[in-house]
Amino acid sequence: MKSSNITLVLRVWQGDITTLPVDAIVNAANPSLLGGGGVDGAIHRSAGPELKTYCAGLGGCETGQAKLSPGFALPSQYVVHTVGPVWHGGGQQEALALAACYRNSLLLADAEGVVSLAFPAISCGVYGYPAREAAQVAVNSLCQAFEDCHLSKQIWLVGYDQHQCTLWQEALAARP
């Protein structure tokens, strides 16, 4: 049973997630885990080539699941790689898959002893998930999953631009 004196702090931060000196950053990866565009590309560039070599040994990742790697040259100790759903209009259980990304990433990080953790807006770039809805799914999922964590958490919800930060703030204001 979870100790009652562990706490969850959720904050919004605007900028490049690869610069954050947190215990772990989350990568919106693709199923190969071998790198791609967007935040995935930025993380691989900043971590250096050892990240791709390491990820090649992870055997890929299914949508909604999460896998861990070292951060290599990043200021963060770990990267949690998760694969968000591609948006197909909402009728293909995209919300469940997106919620699973946040939950599985948080629980994997918790099991590794992570306290400070930063998330990008998973699936809200090339995967096309509507960002307002995604922010609500994310905040709800993180609050629920925290109930199963063993350590306190400081979570940074990262927006690359001001609009995404506003959406994070709105979702936090509406948190259950």
Residue 82 near ligand ADP by CB under 6 A: no
Min separation Cβ 149 and ligand ADP, Å? 23
Q: Is 63 in the site for ligand ADP (CB under 6 A)?
A: no
| Binding range to ligand ADP, per CB under 6 A, among 38-46, 48-56, 59-67, 145-153 | 38-46
Q: By CB under 6 A, tell whether 120 contacts ligand ADP.
A: yes
Told to check if 126 binds ligand ADP by CB under 6 A, we report yes
* Number of residues lying near ligand ADP (CB under 6 A): 20
Q: Nearest distance from residue 81's CB to ligand ADP, in Å?
A: 11
Per DSSP, 16 falls in state -
Contact status: 160 vs ligand ADP (CB under 6 A): yes
Residue in the structure block whose two tokens are 């199963």: 148
Walk across the sheet containing 8-14 and list its strands.
8-14, 153-159, 116-119, 24-29, 78-83, 66-70
> For 52, phi and psi rounded to 5 degrees?
-65, -40
Nearest distance from residue 29's CB to ligand ADP, in Å?
A: 8
Provide φ and ψ at 160, rounded to 5°: -75, -30
For this structure, is 16 an active site residue? no
Q: Confirm or reject binding of residue 122 to ligand ADP (CB under 6 A).
A: yes
Is residue 73 within 8 A of residue 21, CB to CB? The reply is: no
User: Residue 49: what are its φ and ψ, rounded to 5°?
Assistant: -65, -20
Query: Which residue is catalytic, options 16, 23, 40, 148?
Result: 40
**Location of structure tokens 């953790």:** 117
Within 13 A of 143's CA, how many CA atoms are on the CB side? Answer: 14
Residue ranges binding ligand ADP (CB under 6 A): 16-18, 28, 38-40, 42, 84, 120-127, 158, 160, 164
So which residues are the catalytic ones?
40
